[in-house]
Amino acid sequence: MLCRFDQFTLDIDRGLLSEAGRDVAIEPRAFALLVFLVVNRDRMVTKDEIIEKLWDGRIVSEAAIATVIKTTRKVLGDDGVTQKYIRTVRGRGVRFAADVKTAFPARASTLDDHPGSTGGAEHSKRPSIAILPFRMVGYSQKYGAIGDAIPAELISCLSRLRWLKVVSRGSTFRFRQEDPDLSDIRDALGVNYCLTGLVEIFGAVIAVSVELSDTRSKAVVWSERFSGTISDVNATRNDILTHVISALELHVPLNEAKRARLVPPENLDAWGIYHLGLQHMYRFNRKDNEIAAVHFERATTLEPGFARAYAARSFTSFQTAFLKYSADATKEIENARRFAEKCVELDPVDPFGNFTLGRAHWLKGDPEAGMPWIDRSVELSPNFAQGFYAHGWADVMAGRNVEALKQLENATALSPLDPFLYAMQAARGLAYLQLEDYDNALLWAEKGARAPGAHYLIGAIAAMVSKISGDEKKATYWAEKVKKRRPDASAATFFNAFPFEDSDMSRSMRKALVSVGLREF
């Protein structure tokens, strides 16, 4: 994004400041302050917000804050007397005073461009896929329809995923050759992904291998092999459908993000910048979440009708409010609801949009009010792992522990490499804790705390479960981890994030959290 004021141009995406076309030398912290003030130019920014943004909440002196403000002013030819650009609101904070015009650089090309394509003629190119008829090996005439039946069902199911363009079987089933050329498929159908399969039937055994390829690079993105018996062929077919759909939800965005990293940000289209944002969003830390939010905002600016990007904006606002990244939680709580509603307004059948709208109610302390939206996300896409995950968490907070375990096991089975795996595991720990199965409670709570992406609240669950289970050593270990990551962690912040309905269980959890060293409030 480009922000222009007077003779200055601030290129946020590229990290550059220029004056009348000439690059201006600026220290990283001064640049970060300038970006923060310009982006929030419609309001005053407090000193606490500056500390949170520039020093990640670490304790710093008034002199350090004054120095970075002075340095930023000097770069702009401003000072504490003139205050042309950075104006002090005495005793409260500072605000950016100049008029700013924003723009986005013109798009030159995209990763989708290839000989014969229209290149940058479209604003957005969402991922697209062709599913070819599966090749049969060693089959009898009796089972000859399997090679067409499985891909036909996949086409039908995947067409529900609005973020993915699925070519109809009338076009894809023309490619029945033994080893189709991916370049031919790309040229003929205009797709960037192709799913192929091989069905082997020998006696009573059936084995199906599937392979997802990128038609641009011809690289294999994901592959899997499924096996079963002919007598149970329907179960094998359902297993394939479930896992292929879940795999696409995970691996296509990852591959799109990998490709987007190779392109200058100013040349990305709305879908490219969206997928790049997803990679940052799922790292579950303050800095990456802020980067993701900027990417998603740009995606919706480039394409105002981009429903799923609004759901992603809701996700980053939820994360900011849930993990207390910002002092203004009220604003982010409202944004989480507002952006989710915008997604559902634009695309009522997007599972991710319904998921984010359901979770937005958690921030109001009323998970049950969001359950219809969570249920709808799974109804729209029965293989949407994050829908089962959210359902399981809501069940845990409501004390429905048996139902919670069922939902969470479904989520893990559907997406064993899901970005939310740590939370799925921790929630299972809480469900077992409610059932007084302390061995399994501790097992799953620790799995969650050790998994990639786990935040400090997941560590608090491990500390609390360890204490209630009677393992003082582990309770101390996890409590120290939590306090090191978030010195402000308290029992109050824990229950603000997880509003459990069972008062007896809540009292037991609160007592355990305080006894391991977390503050009460």
In this structure, the answer to whether residues 142 and 40 fall within a common structural domain is: no
In this structure, the answer to whether residues 441 and 517 fall within a common structural domain is: yes
Task: Tell me the three state secondary structure of residue 14.
Answer: coil
Q: How confident is the model at residue 57 (pLDDT cuts 50, 70, 90)?
A: low
CATH number of domain containing 22:
1.10.10.10
Task: Enumerate the β-bridge partners of residue 306.
Answer: none
Beta carbons within 10 angstroms of residue 460's beta carbon:
32
Distant-in-sequence, close-in-space partners of 34: CB < 8 Å, separation ≥ 6: 10, 17, 26, 72, 75, 76
pLDDT at residue 231, as a whole number: 81
In a domain, 445, yes or no: yes
Go through the chain and tell me how many residues it has. Answer: 521
Average pLDDT over every residue of 265-286: 87
In this structure, the answer to whether residues 242 and 357 fall within a common structural domain is: no
The pLDDT tens digits of the residues spanning 300-358 come to 999 999 999 999 999 999 999 999 898 888 999 999 999 999 999 999 989 999 999 99
In a domain, 264, yes or no: no
In a domain, 113, yes or no: no
In this structure, the answer to whether residues 128 and 246 fall within a common structural domain is: yes
Average pLDDT over every residue of 152-177: 84
Query: Among 396, 399, 307, which Cα is nearest to 355's?
Result: 307
Distance from the Cα of residue 2 to its chain's centroid:
25
In a domain, 246, yes or no: yes
In this structure, the answer to whether residues 282 and 242 fall within a common structural domain is: no
Q: Are 108 and 265 in contact (CB under 8 A)?
A: no
Question: Which phi and psi angles does 454 have, rounded to 5°?
Answer: -60, 130
Q: Residue 24 and residue 156: Cα distance in Å, rounded? A: 55
In a domain, 432, yes or no: yes
CATH number of domain containing 461:
1.25.40.10
Query: Among 454, 476, 455, which Cα is nearest to 467's?
Result: 476
Predicted confidence (pLDDT) at residue 107 exceeds the cutoff of 60:
no
pLDDT at residue 472, as a whole number: 95
- Domain end call among 79, 103, 127: 103
Q: Residue 508 and residue 521: Cα distance in Å, rounded? A: 16
In this structure, the answer to whether residues 18 and 97 fall within a common structural domain is: yes
Helix (H) or strand (E) holding 200: strand 193-202
Decide which of 122 and 258 is more confident.
Answer: 258
In a domain, 137, yes or no: yes
Strands 135-137 and 193-202: parallel
Query: How many domains does the structure of the chain reveal?
Result: 4
94: containing domain: 2-103
Sheet with 45-46: list strands edge to edge. Answer: 45-46, 93-96, 86-89
In this structure, the answer to whether residues 295 and 354 fall within a common structural domain is: yes
How high does pLDDT run on average in the chain?
A: 87
Predicted confidence (pLDDT) at residue 466 exceeds the cutoff of 60:
yes
Q: Dihedral through CA 406, CA 407, CA 410, CA 416, nearest 10?
A: -120
In a domain, 143, yes or no: yes
The pLDDT tens digits of the residues spanning 418-454 come to 889 999 999 999 999 999 999 999 999 999 999 988 9
In a domain, 459, yes or no: yes
In this structure, the answer to whether residues 245 and 275 fall within a common structural domain is: no
The pLDDT tens digits of the residues spanning 173-221 come to 888 877 788 988 888 888 999 999 999 888 888 899 999 999 998 899 9
In this structure, the answer to whether residues 239 and 273 fall within a common structural domain is: no
In this structure, the answer to whether residues 87 and 129 fall within a common structural domain is: no
**Residue 288, both tokens:** 């990456």
Average pLDDT over every residue of 132-157: 82
In this structure, the answer to whether residues 213 and 244 fall within a common structural domain is: yes
The pLDDT tens digits of the residues spanning 59-80 come to 788 888 999 999 999 999 999 8
In this structure, the answer to whether residues 81 and 133 fall within a common structural domain is: no
Q: Are 94 and 86 in contact (CB under 8 A)?
A: yes
Q: Are 438 and 429 in contact (CB under 8 A)?
A: no
Task: Enumerate the β-bridge partners of residue 490.
Answer: 519
Distant-in-sequence, close-in-space partners of 113: CB < 8 Å, separation ≥ 6: 119, 120
Give the CA radius of gyration of the chain. Answer: 26
Q: How confident is the model at residue 113 (pLDDT cuts 50, 70, 90)?
A: very low
CATH number of domain containing 237:
3.40.50.10610
What percentage of the chain carries pLDDT values higher than 70?
93
